[in-house]
Every structure is written in C-alpha cells, then in structure tokens.
Structure 1
Amino acid sequence: MAGISLPAVEPCLGKINITAPFEEHLERVRHGVEVAKLSGAKYIRIFSFFNPEGSDPAQYLDEVIARTRVMVELAKQGGITLLHENEKGVYGDSSERVKCLLPTINAPPTAGFKKLPTMSKQDSSLSTRHVQW
C-alpha cells in the first residue's frame, strides 16, 4: 500500500449485546484478523460487549471473559494484537472493570495501556489509549 499505513483496524468486535449469539460474531473476528493482516495493521480495536440495559454487569463477567479469550486466541493465531476500548455500556466501560478483565484473560497485557500511533504528526489529538491484549 503505497504511502498508506494502518496501525489498527476496527471491525466493531465486541460491539454486540453479551446475550446475543456469538457464533456469527466469530466470523467477524476471523474476517477482522484477515483484514488486519492484509492491510499490514498490527492491531484490532475491540470492545467488551454491551450489557443488557438496567442489568448488573458483574453477572456477565464470566461470559465476557470467555468470549474475549476466544477473540484473543484467534488474533494471536494471526499475529494480531487486540486493543480494548472502553465505551459507555460495554462491560469494560470503567477502569475498575477493565482491571478486573485483565488478569483473567489468557493473554496477559504486553504493554498495559498502549498509545496508538497518530494518523498525522500534525494532529496528535487522534491518539487514543487502549488496553492491549
């Protein structure tokens, strides 16, 4: 890709309700890994599944961990690193819950919080902080 490089891709992984079927989503994970490899990106941005409205997120921790472990394994097989982004409504929308997830995923974080490269040297506001798995 002449003159263009992608540090990460975002195929909206983990942006489904934690109670939604996961099998279809796994195809999106596999596809995301392939897109990252083809584009030369080393990272995929993921989310930690939306909690049903009004529910206690703690009741879904085991399922979030299980699904995230599967995504981590598929990414590792493709040589890709996952970066978790917190978003309102997903399990990891607070630093406390992200800290809860980190030690339970089968791939410990390699760099804690990782700052992605910026899109432009002139605009450092495009950088984001992520948890790297």
Structure 2
Amino acid sequence: MPAEPTARELVDRFGRMTADGRFQTLRLLVPGKGDSPVLEPFLLSTANDTAEDDLVRVEAVRAIPLLDFAEPALVDRCRDALHRLAREDDDWDVRNAAGCVVFDLPGAENSVDPIRAMLAAEPEEFVRANVSAALNLFLRRA
C-alpha cells in the first residue's frame, strides 16, 4: 500500500493535478503533525486564488480548521483571511464557506462581530442564512 503523500509532496504535485484531483485531494486531506507550517500558506493561497475552480477553493477553506493551531499567530492569520474571504470574495460559495468555517477555529468568539458586520452587507440570502445558522450554533455552544 503506497504511503500518503507528505504535505510538501501534496503542495508540489497540486498544480499538476486536474481540478477534480485537486478537489479530491483537499477533500480527503488529513494533515500530519508538523504539516501546518507547509499547509497554512498553501491552503490560504488556494482559497484566495480566483483563477482556481470554486469547488477547490471551498475545499481549501474547509480544510483550514484541520491545521494544528498550537502557534497563536497561525490561527490569527487564518481567521483574518477567512474574515476577508467572507466579506470580500466575489464567489458566494467561498464567502459562504469562509463565514461558516471561521467558527471552527480556536478563539471563534473573535469572529462574532466581524461576521455580524459581514452579514449586514451580504447580498445573497443563501449565504446570509447559512452563515447566520453557523453563528447562532456557535453562540448556543458558547
């Protein structure tokens, strides 16, 4: 049985895969211990790449909470990037995923006000409904 690719191998091969291959790779991603320094910039870059297929971008967003957030600066960078995507991205799928996933990060209480502001300006009813549900779920758990 072949070994799972390392984070570095995944990052190096990613650009040579088909869109479906990139989507499946991110969907099945299980980061190993010590992979976060390699995966964090890769996932954030993929999520922000407007030339990338939207399903691939959404899977990159969904993979962010899988990182090891032992380093506080890592969670801050990811949270800030997700806030920006939720607020500014042109693709409603990406805004939706970012606005929901941010509540799966450590320190999610720091996302309540920025996400409320994002919701006030969000033009898509679907996104408002989903992100509001994620926010309300978080508030009930907290």
- Normalised to the residue count of structure 1, the TM-score between the two structures is 0.37
Higher-RCO chain (CA-CA 8 Å, sequence separation at least 6):
1
- Using the size of structure 2 for normalisation, the TM-score is 0.36
Bigger strand fraction: 1
Structure with the larger helix share: 2
